Amino acid sequence: MATKKPTNTPDPSKSELAGTDTPDRSNTNAKLESLEQFRSDATQQALRTNHGVKVSDNQNTLKAGDRGPSLLEDFIMREKITHFDHERIPERIVHARGTGAHGYFQAYEDHAALTKAGFLRDPAKQTPVFVRFSTVQGPRGSGDTVRDVRGFSVKFYTDEGNYDLVGNNMPVFFIQDAIKFPDFVHAVKPEPHNEIPTGGSAHDTFWDFVSLVPESAHMVLWTMSDRAIPKSLRTMQGFGVHTFRMINTEGKSTFVKFHWKPKFGVCSLVWDEAQKLAGKDTDFHRRDLWESIETGDYPEWELGVQIVAEEDEHKFDFDILDPTKIIPEELVPVTPLGKMVLNRNPDNYFAETEQVAFCPGHVVPGIDFSNDPLLQGRLFSYTDTQISRLGGPNFHEIPINRPIAPNHNGQRDAQHRTTIDKGRASYEPNSIDGGWPKETPAGPVDGGFETYPERIEAHKVRQRSESFSDHFSQATLFFNSMSHAEKEHIIAAYSFELGKVEREYIRARQVNEILANIDLELAGRVAANLGLPAPTAPTVPSKKQSLAESPLLSQMNLLSGDIVSRKVAILVANGVDDKAVAAMKAALEAEGAHAKVLGPTSAPVKTASGASLPVDASMEGLPSVAFDAVFIPGGAASVTALSGDGVALHYVLEAYKHLKAISVSGEAKQIIDLLHLDKDAGLLEVSDSKSFKPFFTAIAQHRVWDREPKAKAIPA
């Protein structure tokens, strides 16, 4: 008899999903084990058909003679090929490219004054979560590091049902009303005649649409900023975007805006790096997420809310129902609610990350909607799209979507139904099954869901409130809040993208009718780069705002301050000073950073003391764009070899160009002289471990921004 088959199907009801947040860095030996764990369900098992019959030959089709035609009778071959022929399901219309992880959420305290939602009320409880990050424009196989918005979707498997917080890494959106979503998506997606470009917005139809739709100005500015090229998925903020409601145990409603703040700080790639990574490692973000979980650098975010009392709904110089507006944190600070830790990679990409189905309408008692017209449309769209994407209305039965709360009701049948519903009464009221399942009255604890009884007196109209009409003030606020470097990147991004637009009237419209209303210098600089006349005045009068700047919008103010999980390349060749390598490695590891030794090839090198030093990869195999910093140890022969190696020299120049921290010890100073690079706050000579500190400080600051003007002279 066959042994019982172990399962690797995700089951959010198991408490081990949540696990612990203690990082385990002793992963050296675990590497092989972890490579094997993903095939463990088939270990010791016979190969069988889908109907359980053992297969004796998986190499040959049944044929009439060994050189003859194949026979229709071969049910084994037919089953295998038929299943294969239907392996693909439609990819998501938007957010097709994604990656996911399991973890848990834990509230800091009982937030009863704000919400009755159980998962925000018990600080002892770890609620399992599944998170999916995504890009928006590109198809499933597109690059991770393209300029785009990132989706940030969290499914909380709470005891009271699934709650989905389906947000982005930017706090605003392109449009104000859901009826415009298909237009926006058709404009940004690859153009219909040739399906170009993949994964980017630098094309005519996108800029045609956004230059005609001024409400997009604020969000387009965010997408032209460094936020659209995040360094890693774990260094992004997340936002619920819309204003939502929370309902407390007394039935009181409060408006909230959701924020996710990453423990690893907020930082981005530089544009040249992002473009190169899109080719050198298409999977850069999903690899980083995967590896950080495997190595115990668990991605972590703090969930917080900006709280606005009902009576304060109209006190701002914007409408809190308008999804193109933020509430600056300087006006309403973020109140922390709890933390989310991602500590387990999925077992199967398709079963979990591809089949997970989010919907902003999946809420639990204690959380409710506002009348934001974009949110209201989303409540319909997501479930509707799952019906074609996942093949019918039973997608909630797919293991990754199944709630841990029981879900009894009278809904029956339909495609892919797997539940075997017992009993005769699939209607309510009934008497033959004792009236079960029954409604639960709403209540402060464990009650049925009750919509907040907002009073509305209105005419049915197709109109937009006048309070939604200021499209530029907050874009100006965002631009004014950027550092010098961030402003330069925004100017470069508009110039790059509009430079790819073939129709000059579209370029001119974006400059004159959108950018000129955000900031005249921005408009003028972009105009100059496009060879257009600089606009001299805005086309709409600017509105007075209560804030001139919001420093918390600048990523420069959102770094983690440490170097935990940062990756440092150590460049070596035969004759390297092994003591210098060991000292740097030990010092980095003590700070929670990771060092990789890279040689001219993947073969070990012979050190100055004659030992054999294993290398992690060749310099070509792990290019500088995959690292945060570079260290070149001394050792006369090693330095001579690296000085004559174009790959090594390019490595250092590229890291310099991308404003990364670089340190050299001993003879390696010669390489810096050879390349005519000037020392700066991040290009340093180190000797003993005491002198490592400025190097680590430079890594913690993420980039050497002051170097940027000089770095422009370095060839890309």
What's the rounded Cα separation, in Å, for the pair 249 and 253?
10
DSSP state of 565: T
Among positions 62, 76, 77, 93, the unique one binding ligand HDD when judged by CB under 6 A:
93
From 10, 17, 95, 627, residue interacting with ligand HDD (rule: CB under 6 A): 95
Residue 384: partners with Cβ closer than 8 Å, 6 or more residues away: none
Q: Can 394 be counted among the known catalytic residues?
A: no
Closest residue to ligand HDD, based on beta-carbon distance:
151
Is residue 362 within 8 A of residue 163, CB to CB? The reply is yes
Q: Which is nearer to ligand HDD, 241 or 506 (CB)?
A: 241
Contact with ligand HDD (CB under 6 A) among 97, 132, 402, 585: 132
Which one, 96 or 518, has the nearer CB to ligand HDD? 96
Query: Using the rule CB under 6 A, is 98 a contact of ligand HDD?
Result: yes
171: contact with ligand HDD by CB under 6 A? no
If residue 497 lies in a helix (H) or strand (E), which one and from where to where? helix 484-499
Please report, as residue ranges, which positions from 6 to 35 form the binding site for ligand HDD (by CB under 6 A): none
Our finding on whether 520 is near ligand HDD (CB under 6 A) is no
Among the listed residues 94, 477, 518, 580, the single contact to ligand HDD using CB under 6 A: 94
Nearest to ligand HDD of 176, 282 (CB atom): 176
The answer to whether 197 contacts ligand HDD (rule: CB under 6 A) is no
| 12, 138, 151, 633: which one binds ligand HDD (CB under 6 A) | 151
Round to whole Å and give the CA distance between 417 and 397: 8
Q: Which is nearer to ligand HDD, 377 or 391 (CB)?
A: 377
Interacting residue with ligand HDD among 323, 365, 403, 538 (CB under 6 A): 323
**Which residue among the candidates 95, 218, 471, 594 is catalytic per the annotation?**
95
Q: Which is nearer to ligand HDD, 107 or 356 (CB)?
A: 356
* Residue 92 engages ligand HDD in binding (rule: CB under 6 A): yes
- The answer to whether the peptide bond before residue 197 is cis (omega within 30 degrees of 0) is yes
The one segment of 23-31, 88-96, 252-260, 483-491 that binds ligand HDD by CB under 6 A: 88-96
Burial status of residue 1 (CB atoms within 10 A of its CB: 0-12, 13-18, 19 or more)? exposed
Smallest separation (angstroms) from ligand HDD to the CB of 299: 16
CB–CB of 486/554 below 8 Å? yes
Non-local CB neighbours of 85 within 8 Å, separated by 6+ positions: none
- Contact between 137 and ligand HDD (CB under 6 A)? no
Binding residues with ligand HDD: total (CB under 6 A) = 25
**DSSP letters spanning 142-186:** S-SSSSS-EEEEEEEEETTEEEEEEEESSSS-S-SSGGGHHHHHH
d(CA 694, CA 629): 13
Minimum CB distance to ligand HDD, residue 354 (Å)? 9
Phi-psi region of 271 (alpha: psi -120 to 50; beta: other; left: phi over 0): alpha
| 167 near ligand HDD (CB under 6 A) | yes
Using the rule CB under 6 A, give the single segment among 164-172, 270-278, 421-429, 499-507 that binds ligand HDD.
164-172
**Nearest approach, Cβ of 164 to ligand HDD (angstroms)?**
9
Identify the active-site residue in 111, 162, 168, 574: 168
Is 168 assigned a catalytic role?
yes
In terms of CB distance, is 155 or 657 closer to ligand HDD? Answer: 155
Neighbour order of strands in the sheet with 617-618: 617-618, 594-599, 567-571, 629-632, 661-664, 683-685
Residue span 638-677 as binding mask against ligand HDD, x where in contact by CB under 6 A, dash where not:
----------------------------------------
Tell me, what DSSP letter sits at residue 290? Answer: H
Give whichever of 344 and 362 is closer to ligand HDD, judged by the CB atom: 362
Q: Identify which range of 93-101, 257-265, 314-322, 654-662 contacts ligand HDD by CB under 6 A.
A: 93-101
Separation CA 529–CA 147 (nearest Å): 20
Q: Cβ closer to ligand HDD: 175 or 532?
A: 175
Q: Is 358 in the site for ligand HDD (CB under 6 A)?
A: yes
**Contact flag: residue 241 with ligand HDD (CB under 6 A):** yes
Q: Which position among 126, 127, 142, 168 is part of the footprint of ligand HDD (CB under 6 A)?
A: 168
- CB-wise, 155 or 263, nearer to ligand HDD? 155
Of the pair 166, 698, the CB lying nearest ligand HDD is at 166
Of 162-170, 433-441, 608-616, 697-705, the segment contacting ligand HDD by CB under 6 A is 162-170
Site string for ligand HDD, 362-391 (x = CB under 6 A): ------------x--xx--xx--x------
Structure tokens at 286: 């999903």
Q: Considering the complex, what minimum distance in angstroms separates the CB of residue 288 from ligand HDD? A: 18
Nearest distance in Å: CB 380, ligand HDD? 7
Binding to ligand HDD (CB under 6 A) within 451-510 occurs at: none
Residues 6+ apart with CB under 8 A from 357: 382, 386, 389, 390, 395, 396, 398, 401
Least distance to ligand HDD, CB of residue 158, Å:
19
How buried is residue 381: exposed, middle or buried, by Cβ count under 10 Å (0-12/13-18/19+)?
middle
Closest distance of CB 661 from ligand HDD, Å: 33
Q: Side-chain half-sphere of 49: how many Cα atoms within 13 Å?
A: 14
Strands 238-239 and 253-262: antiparallel
Q: How far is the CB of 41 from ligand HDD (least distance, A)?
A: 25
Rounded CA separation 171/323 (Å): 8
Which amino acid, residue 192? P
Cα 269 from Cα 256, distance rounded (Å): 31
Regarding 181 and contact with ligand HDD (CB under 6 A), the answer is yes
Only one of the segments 161-169, 207-215, 254-262, 467-475 lies at the binding site for ligand HDD (rule: CB under 6 A); that segment is: 161-169
Instruction: Kindly state whether residue 285 participates in binding ligand HDD, applying the rule CB under 6 A.
Output: no
Written as six digits, the tokens of 254 are 């409060």
Q: Is the dihedral of CA 565, 571, 576, 577 positive or negative?
A: negative
User: Do the Cβ atoms of 354 and 399 come closer than 8 Å?
Assistant: no
Q: Is 395 in the site for ligand HDD (CB under 6 A)?
A: no
Residues 6+ apart with CB under 8 A from 238: 152, 154, 167, 168, 169, 258, 259, 260, 301
- 145 or 624: CB nearest ligand HDD: 145
**Strands 253-262, 683-685: parallel, antiparallel or unpaired by DSSP?**
unpaired
Quick one: 242 or 567, whose CB is closer to ligand HDD? 242
What DSSP letter does each residue of 87-144 carry, written as one string?
A: ---PPPSS--SEEEEEEEEEESS--TTT---GGGT-TT--EEEEEEEEESSS-TTS-S
Q: Of 174 and 627, which CB lies nearer to ligand HDD in the complex structure? A: 174
Measured between alpha carbons, how far is 176 from 62 in angstroms, rounded to an integer?
60
Contact between 173 and ligand HDD by CB under 6 A: the answer reads yes
Query: What letter would DSSP give residue 623?
Result: -
Give yes or no for a contact between 176 and 322, defined as CB atoms under 8 angstroms apart. Answer: yes
Q: How far is the CB of 464 from ligand HDD (least distance, A)?
A: 15
Q: Tell me the C-alpha distance between 343 and 296, whole Å.
A: 8
Q: Say whether 588 sits in a helix, a strand or coil.
A: helix
Applying CB under 6 A, the residues found at the interface with ligand HDD are 92-95, 98, 132, 134, 151, 153, 166-168, 173, 178, 181, 241, 323, 356, 358, 374, 377-378, 381-382, 385
Active site residues per annotation: 95, 168
